[in-house]
Amino acid sequence: MSHNLVEIEEDLQYIAVASKRSDFDHALIRLVLSTLADEEEILNLTRRDLAISGGTFSVYLRRAGRSRKAPIDERTYLSLKKISEGLSGRERIFKLSRSEIDDIIARHSPEGRIYNLTGLRKAVKRILEDNLLGRSFDELDDMGFEELCDFMGEFHPMFSGMWDLDDDDVAYEYFMMLSERHGISEVSEMSELSGESEERIERLMGRKWYLNYLDLPSE
């Protein structure tokens, strides 16, 4: 995909928000977005791999011959905890085939820009690489856990909440993106896609229109 970084980030935000319609799908997608987990790491994940220490959330990801401790944001941690309730500590959270993982990601992708696991991981990698200031992406593997937490907290949009809609300005930009890039302008459609109430969407769009109107130069 030869898309610019702004388009890529908008795509990933679209996928993150759209997947909220399913707790299971949302947790899977948040895991990939926040850690770049590959197929083996996803399938090996168990409830006991989720950890919190001193307010820092993390997940242990395991594959043949290698394991790593990756920071995750609080919302991803809570999403994974929620869907794994009732499972034993050793029971796998995601009992999926590769095609099922790809189908879940594709189902929540924007129309005409379908992602799979490989594409989603590459997209996140491109965003993070842009903040490595010319350094190799492999250098992330050499960072200690605390250094990696600091890097992700500063440069990963999911850790800063920029792919969620809690903040009014972030939500407004998201709804404008739906309208301008995807031709979704009906408030009911925006509400169905995002899970946000029609009342909030109308309030946000109306408020921003009014503020923008006030900023117009007078004749």
Helix pair angle (198-215, 168-182), 10° resolution: 90
Q: 89 near 48, Cβ under 8 Å? A: yes
For position 139, what pLDDT does the model report?
A: 75
For position 210, what pLDDT does the model report?
A: 42
**Rounded to whole angstroms, how far apart are CA atoms 97 and 66?**
21
For position 194, what pLDDT does the model report?
A: 94
Consecutive 10-residue averages of pLDDT for the chain (219 residues) = 80 96 97 97 97 94 92 96 93 97 97 95 91 71 88 91 92 93 91 94 75 48
| Residues near 69 by beta carbon (within 8 Å), at least 6 away in sequence | 51, 58, 59, 60, 61, 145
**Rounded to whole angstroms, how far apart are CA atoms 15 and 30?**
9
Q: What is the DSSP string of 9-26?
A: HHHHHHHHHHGGGSHHHH
Task: Name the amino acid, one letter, at 89.
Answer: G
For position 217, what pLDDT does the model report?
A: 57
Ramachandran area for residue 37 (φ above 0: left; ψ -120 to 50: alpha; else beta):
beta
- How far does CA 147 lie from the centroid of its chain? 21
Q: Which residue has the tokens 């994974």?
A: 80
| Residues near 84 by beta carbon (within 8 Å), at least 6 away in sequence | 46, 47, 50, 93
| Residues near 101 by beta carbon (within 8 Å), at least 6 away in sequence | 28, 39, 42, 94, 116, 117
Q: Which of 59, 108, 63 is nearest to 84 (CA)?
A: 59
Half-sphere exposure of 26 toward its Cβ, with a 13 Å CA cutoff? 24
For position 208, what pLDDT does the model report?
A: 57
